Each structure stands twice: as structure tokens, then as C-alpha cells.
Amino acid sequence: MKSIVRAAIVATALVVPVASFAQSQITRAQVRAELAELQSVGYHVGDGDQAHYPEAIQAAEAKLAARDGATDYGGTANGTSQSGGVRVSPSDWNAMYSR
């Protein structure tokens, strides 16, 4: 029984680093490009205002999203949608659910 527990612990110890390594990684160039975009809407890197850092970066990201026409959930949707389900005629309804 102890060997099964040990094997499970060893397997877990080996899987955790592999799973964390598999996360998406961005390059230095991508980070620099993001910073350049943020600076283009008025964000200043390293201005010394540590007290308002979260608000400043969020405001700059909101300006970028508004400028690019993006939303928090992706781009704009080009299409229409209809709420509700498909209307079923009374005769079809009775044919399906009346017995």
C-alpha cells in the first residue's frame, strides 16, 4: 500500500512542473509592443506613482479597447440574434406531446 502512495506522490510531483511549463508564454517583443500601445494612449511606465498604478493601467487598457473597438469579451459581433425558441404550431405540438 505504501508503494502505491509513494508512486502517486512521485507522479504528482512530476506532473505539476510539466503542467506549469505548458502555460502560454509571451516574448519580450510582445511585451514591448503592448507597452508601446499603452504609451500611445497616455500610460507612462515608471512615473513613480505606485499608489495609483492599478487605476492608471486599467484606464489605459480601457482607452485601448475603446480605440480598437474591442470589448472585454472579444471583438464586435457582426450578426443578429433572436431570443426565445422556435415557434411550434399547435398541430405539431399536439402531434409530438399528445397521446
Bridge partner list, 74: 71
Measured distance CA(31)–CA(64) in Å, rounded: 15
Tell me the per-residue pLDDT of 76-98, one tens digit each, with 9 for 90 and over: 556 666 666 667 778 887 887 77
pTM for this model (two decimals): 0.45
Tell me the per-residue pLDDT of 16-74, one tens digit each, with 9 for 90 and over: 665 566 567 888 999 899 989 988 988 887 777 777 788 888 888 899 888 887 555 55
